[in-house]
Each structure stands twice: as structure tokens, then as C-alpha cells.
Amino acid sequence: MAQTYFTEDHEWIRVEGDIATVGITNYAQEQLGDLVFVELPEKGRSIAKGDTVVVVESVKAASDVYAPLAGEVTDVNDGLSDNPGLVNSAAEKDGWLWKMKLADKAALDGLMDRAAYDATTA
């Protein structure tokens, strides 16, 4: 069963097997406002924790989305090229950003669950 983790950088990570799907939280998209462009990574790119993987651009400003964990990008959400607003309308579902093969699943232990994350934005 998939389990979802959260970071203090307002990302969610849904893990199935050793593949993680990463997006920004609904709280994050509310703070950013209407998105007009999402710069996605190359598939196959190796990423270290903390790397800038995605840049989301709102009407007003560009914001970095960092790798919450190390691994390799296996897929990106191509639908965002034509419809970046999907991140606003469905941040924690259809507005996912990329999928990655985790280098070390044990690193998930340092992340927050939903309740802990919600407490940080309350």
C-alpha cells in the first residue's frame, strides 16, 4: 500500500515499492498562486537530496522545488507542459511533478506524516 510523506519544504512524496511520486502540497500551491509554467527535469537524471529538480513559475515569480531524497528521475508529469494550472487545481493528485527511484528508502524515516505536516502549516 502506498504511503505518503511530507517535507518542511511543502512537498509530498508518495511511495510505492521503491518508486516515489513527488509533488508540492496544496498549502504550497495556495502560497504560490496561479502557476503558468513548470520546468521539469530530464528522465534518467540522477538527483541528490536538496538539488533543484523543478522550477514552478507563478504569474509573479519563479520558485524552486528541491529533491526531498536522493535517487533517479524515472518519469515526469508531461501534462503540466500544456496545463501547469493542474498543480493549482490538484496539487496532491494529478498535479504531481516527477517520479523517482529512491536510492535509499531508509531516508524516508526522517520525513513527516500528514498529521505532522498539517501541524506545521496550521
Partner 1 sequence: MAELGELKRLPLHDLHAAAGAKFGGFAGWSMPLTYPAGVMKEHLHCREATGLFDISHMKLFAVSGPQAAAALSRACPIEADGLATGQSKYTFFLNGDAGILDDLIVTRVDGERFVVVANAGNAEADEAHLREVVAGFNCRIDALDRVFLALQGPQAEAVARDAGLEIDGLAFMNGRETNDGGFIARSGYTGEDGFEIAVPLDAAQALAERLAADPRVEWIGLAARDSLRLEAGLCLHGQDITPDTNPVDAGLTWAIPKALRAGGSYIGADALAKAIANGPRRKRVGLKPDGRQPVRAGAALVDADGAAVGSITSGGFGPSFGGPVAMGSVDAAALEGPIFAEVRGNRMPLALHPLPFQPHRMRKG
Among 1, 59, 106, 122, binds partner 1 (CB under 8 A): 59
Among 1, 42, 44, 61, binds partner 1 (CB under 8 A): 61
Cα angle 23-121-57, degrees, rounded to a multiple of 5: 40
Contacts for 69 with CB less than 8 Å, ≥ 6 apart: 13, 20, 49, 100, 102, 103, 104, 107, 108
Q: What is the 3-state secondary structure (H, E, C) of 65-94?
A: EECCCCEEEEEECCHHHHCCCHHHHCCCCC
Candidates 11-19, 31-39, 70-78, 90-98: pick the segment binding partner 1 (CB under 8 A): 31-39
Candidates 11-19, 51-59, 69-77, 102-110: pick the segment binding partner 1 (CB under 8 A): 51-59
Task: Please report how close the Cβ of residue 110 comes to partner 1 at its closest, in angstroms.
Answer: 28
Say if CB 101 and CB 19 are below 8 A apart: yes
Please give the DSSP secondary-structure letter assigned to residue 56: E
Under the binding rule (CB under 8 A), the answer on residue 62 touching partner 1 is yes
Under the binding rule (CB under 8 A), the answer on residue 95 touching partner 1 is no
**Interaction site with partner 1 (CB under 8 A):** 33-34, 36-37, 39, 55, 57-62, 81, 84, 88
